[in-house]
Amino acid sequence: MEPGGDRAVTRPVTSSTEHAEIAAADGLRFHVARAGTGPVVVLLHGFTGSTETWASLQAALATRFTTLAVDITGHGRSGVPRDPTRYSLTRFADDLRDILDSLSIPRVVVLGYSMGGRAALRFALQHPDRVAGLILESTSPGIADPAERAERVASDLALAAEIEKKGIAAFIDRWEQLPLWANHKTLSDESRLRLRTQRLANQPLGLANSLRGAGAGAEPPVTDRLPAIRTPVRIVVGALDAKYVALGRVMEASMAEASLSVVAGAGHMVHAEQPDEFRELIRTTLDGLVSEHGEWR
């Protein structure tokens, strides 16, 4: 999908969800899925994800909240720039501002998973006046150690080259074998197939350049900037994901209004591995951020 065209083109897909392509200031187009009614919640998926990550959550929240799921740069049906620097989460934070401006939405709560959580942190730091709260699922503030960052950059560059050389299917085969997804054995066959199908729908250049431009090593860490975030923050991690439990505790201690929820029986992908508990946690968190007038506090 190339940059350019109208600012927003909307097409109804079902009675409950609207899909649109919305252009950022430079014309790069972003795919957005909008559902429900009420205060607006932005939903940001992880690496290899798309708006489809949030389909069941959008349905669950539809009677109380408007949800706006966005395909992050290079993912799903959003644009796939050739310049890796266009994928940076710093740029995406401004893109998200442009999307909200196009839809005349002043303030939102942002829910971000993994890479999407890093994007949510960037958005809150760059545009604090647009954020009523954050929900961060299995999120890192970045890699602080320079040597570890350099190692991660080298690993991501090699993986990006492999994606372009061998294609999406071979990459997803490798990706799904990572220890990070060990708990996926608890998912139903249908859920695993749905997740794999969604991952395979991405484009090789989009995933490769996302690693180059928005990988955890490529992006400067924001750990030291976390105290500047003064809005309510809910951090959600799976009890089986030890690395992110530790990161969650670091973030909780760094932000004045942060609280950590550790979900039993879940690994990295809490929303898929413990969906009922995750949905209830999100509902409860969002309800606590709504004023008596039905708007964000």
In a domain, 207, yes or no: no
Residue 263, domain member (yes or no): yes
CATH code of the domain in which 126 resides: 3.40.50.1820
CB 171 within 8 A of CB 148: no
Q: What's residue 194's pLDDT?
A: 95
Inside any domain, residue 198:
no
For residue 189, what are the contacts with CB-CB under 8 A and spacing of at least 6? none
Residue 187 lies in a domain: no
Element of type H or E holding 238: strand 233-238
Q: Of 8 and 135, which is predicted with more confidence?
A: 135
Q: How far is CA 231 from the centre of its chain?
A: 18
Q: Is residue 264 part of a domain?
A: yes
- Assign 277 to helix, strand or coil: helix
| Side-by-side strand order, sheet with 258-263 | 8-12, 17-23, 29-36, 66-70, 40-44, 108-113, 131-137, 233-238, 258-263
Q: What percent of the chain has pLDDT over 70?
A: 95
**Which amino acid is residue 47, in one-letter code?**
F
Residue 34 has pLDDT above 60, yes or no: yes
Mean pLDDT over all residues of the chain? 94
H or E element at residue 98: helix 89-102
Does residue 134 register a pLDDT over 60? yes
Provide the domain count of the chain. 1
- Domain membership of residue 295 (yes or no) is no
CB crowding 106-128: b at 16 or more within 10 Å, else e:
ebbbbbbbbbbbbbbbbbbbbbe
In this predicted structure, the answer to whether residue 9 has a pLDDT above a threshold of 80 is no
Amino acid letter at 268?
H
* Statement: residue 161 has pLDDT above 90: yes
Give residue 185's pLDDT. Answer: 87
Sequence-distant (6+) residues with CB within 8 A of 185 are none
In the predicted model, what is the mean pLDDT of residues 121-149?
97
pLDDT of residue 1: 33
Its domain, for residue 63, covers 8-143+220-287
Please, which pLDDT band fits residue 7 given cuts at 50, 70 and 90? very low
Helices and strands (H, E) in the chain, number of each type: 10, 9
pLDDT of residue 16: 81
91-107 pLDDT, tens digit per residue, is 999 999 999 999 999 99
pLDDT one-digit tens code per residue, 57-91: 999 999 999 999 999 999 999 999 999 999 999 99
Looking at the predicted structure, is the pLDDT value of residue 5 above 60? no
